[in-house]
Amino acid sequence: MATEKLYYSDPYLKEFSARVLAAIQLEDGRTGVVLDRTAFYPEGGGQPCDTGRLNDIPVLEVHSKNGEIVHVVAEAPAVEEVTGRLDWARRFDHMQQHSGEHVLSGAFLELFGAENVGFHLGPDAVYIDIALESLSAGQAAAVEARANAAVYATLPVSTHQVTDADLSRFPLRKLPTKGFGSLRLVEMPGIDCCPCGGTHVSNTGQIGGIKIRGWERKSGVTRVDFVCGGRALADHGLCLSAVRQLSTRLSVPPAEVPAAVEKQLAKLEGLHRELQATRQELGRLLAAEAYGGAPSTGDGAKVIVKAYEGQPPLELADFARQLLTLGPVIILLAAGLPEENKSQFLFACTPGLALNTGALLKSLLPLVGGKGGGSANWAQGGGPFSDKLAEALDKARREVLAASGTN
C-alpha cells in the first residue's frame, strides 16, 4: 500500500496523526516504520530527508521504496496510532534552499543560457553545477540581482501533476525523459518551471534572499556555492563579525579593511624576507663556530654533536646543510621538545666517509621509542619525548669515534 504523501498536499504541515502499517528490520539491522500517511519528506532529488519524532521516538532518516515511505527510527512504536512531529526548522531551511535553487537556476538560464546540471543541499553547503566554462564576478552579480528580483516579487510557487500530453502548456527549463505516466512540475512564473519532487515555499518571498558566496571550475562545469534565507542571514552575520573584528584590530573603518589587510600582508612579507636572511646569517655563524671547535676523526672529518632541550635556534635540517658546506663532517643532532611530547633526530655526513647514518639512527631510535630512517649520508627520525635522548646521542657519538679509531 502506497503511503499518502502529506508533504505534497501541505508542505507546511508540522504535525500529523497516522496509522502504523508495518515495522520492518532493515538490511543494516535498524528498524524501519511504514505509515499509512506521512509529512516526513524522504531523501531524494538533491534534498535531504526530514527528521523529527513519531510520538517520543526519534526519526533518524526517511527513505522512499516502491511507493512506501520508510521511517528509520530508534525503536518501533508500541502502539498502532502515532503522532508525527517534524523538525520544522530543518524542513523550512530545506524549502528555502531548494526553492532558491530553482530561482537561481532560472536566472542563469535566462541571462546566459546556462543549464543547471547538478544540485547538492547539505547541512553546511548548497551548490549548483552550471554548464558554463567560466563565471566572472560581473556575471555572478547579474545572476544574483535577477534572482533576488524574483524573490522580492513574491511570485507564487505552484505544483502541477501532469502527463506527457500536458507538457506543451508549460515553459519548461528542463525537458523530462519521454514516456512517463505522470510528472510533478514546480512553477515560479517568469523565472522557472521544471520537474521536481521536493518541498517548496508557497511564494518566492519566503526564500528570504539569495546570496552567491563563490564559485569554482569543477569537472567541466562551474560549481556555484550559495545560501538562502536563514542561512544567508547567518552567513552575513559571520562575515560582518569578522570584518568588525578586523576593523577594530586595524583601526580603520570597515570599508577600508581590505586595503589595510593588503598593507599588513606586504609588511609581513618584507619581515619574512628579513627573517630568512637573518636566519641564514645566524646559521652560517653557528655552523662556523660549531665546526671550528669540534673534534676530528682520524681521517680529518669533524664530528658535530649537539642536543637541544626545547626548540633549537635553527631547524635541524638547515643547520646540518650549513655544516656540510664547511668540509668533511659527521653531524649528530637531536632536539627534545617536552612541551610537545616530541623528539627529533638528524644524522648526516659528507659523502665518501665510512659511515651509514641511516643504519646508525635506526640502531638508536628504540632507546627513545622513536622511528625513522634515511640514506647513508642523511637520516631523520623522531618519536615521543624521552629522557634518554641525551644518552642515545652520546652512544651515537661514541660509536662514531670508536669506528674511526678516535678517542
pTM of the entire predicted model: 0.76
Which residues 6+ apart lie within 8 Å of 382 measured at CB? Answer: 342, 343, 344, 345, 370, 371, 372
Q: How far apart are CA 391 and CA 207, in angstroms?
A: 69
- The architecture (CATH level 2) of 279-403 comes to Roll (3.10)
Question: What integer pLDDT is reported at residue 235 of this predicted model?
Answer: 95
Please name the residue ranges forming H helices in 293-378: 316-324, 357-364
Give the whole-angstrom CA distance, residue 372 versus residue 382: 6
354 pLDDT band (50/70/90 cuts)? confident
R_g of the chain, CA atoms, integer Å: 34
Q: What is the Cα–Cα distance from 122 to 131, expressed in whole angstroms?
A: 21
> What mean pLDDT is predicted for residues 57-66?
93
Among the CATH numbers 3.40.50.12780, 3.40.190.150, 3.30.980.10, 3.40.50.2300, which is that of 92-241?
A: 3.30.980.10
pLDDT for 407 beyond 80: no
Q: What is the tens place of the pLDDT at every residue in 145-203?
A: 999 999 999 999 999 998 887 887 888 887 776 666 788 999 999 999 999 999 999 99
Q: How far apart are CA 29 and CA 201, in angstroms?
A: 36
CA dihedral 271, 273, 278, 279 (to 10 degrees): 110
Predicted pLDDT of residue 351: 92
4-86 belongs to which CATH class?
Answer: mainly beta
Domains 4-86 and 92-241 share a fold: no
Residue 330, pLDDT > 80, answer yes
Helices (DSSP H) in 293-329: which residue ranges?
316-324
pLDDT interval class at 293 (50, 70, 90)? confident
CA distance 378 to 356: 8
What is the model's pLDDT at position 169? Answer: 84
> How far is it, in rounded angstroms, from Cα 388 to Cα 386?
5
> What residue segments make up the domains of the chain, in order of their start?
4-86, 92-241, 279-403
Separation of CA 192 from chain center: 31
Torsion of CA 389, 392, 393, 397, to 10 degrees: 170
Distances in Å between the Cα of 258 and the Cα atoms of 152, 239, 243, 314 are 31, 13, 9, 34
